[in-house]
Structure 1
């Protein structure tokens, strides 16, 4: 079973629906025992960094998620859920989970560049893992964000995209991964990534 962490942020049902279409059992939950026993966990996120981090802490699930990660089973952060995996964000003052060596910064002000970055964008694979198996050069994902993951250890950069300049679109360190885009809104490309996550 794939546990989708329910902490009152993100469009959880669309993630569940995508897994269901792929034939995988997924459930929105904040039950510590269900999360501990899950095969995989998805940490979604929508809104500001501080709001998401406070909401997650208020559920009391941070230590449960740390226990889950320590088992070696796979966890995937989506959008702000991916940003929470690092140390913190320029967007606020809350400390992140600190599982990955990275910070989160705002896109710079550039003439002709709208912030937030919103819409489809092609992505390049920076390293090969099971999460990106089966992608060709034409794949793309749907983004909605004003802040992006920065200062990422080179060995943890999974995908890179361009918006004015290159930025990190996905990270992975061992069993913990995060994607800045929304796979649940990315049609067949998102389905491929979520299938890879569910079967890796």
Structure 2
């Protein structure tokens, strides 16, 4: 994600993607309606989260007088920080059908949120000073690339195979050094 043309930009790894079809979510919202963006209070604790909040607001927020946007809100984008990852959820604002179309300001307790999806997790890797590059402002020290994870898994499997081969050779050496004496009853039933 980047603020063009001058930056800053953030490089993420997108994890835990769940689509609407996969989760069998029942909600729905109108095309072109503007979302309400909500952020957890953790976004105001550190400068890196403040930068990410501003970039997300610039990307997902709809300008107020945009010609294709509807003049109302019927869904909520929720961004929250858990374990240094940004979790995204999308909820529809639902009003009971037997009520009138417009709800009073005091009638907010009648509204409910229904998850419409998709949902995903953003793992921040680096924050750059420019747009898609430039000086590195932040680098995640706990980030491990998927290639490194796959490489470690392959090494574990290779080690398992090597252990099996060593065990076989040890067994053969043991059998050769401790040979069994011929059994006197081995040919008893062969007649």
Bigger Rg, which one: 2
* Fold-level similarity (TM above 0.5): no
TM-score (norm 2): 0.27
TM-score (norm 1): 0.26
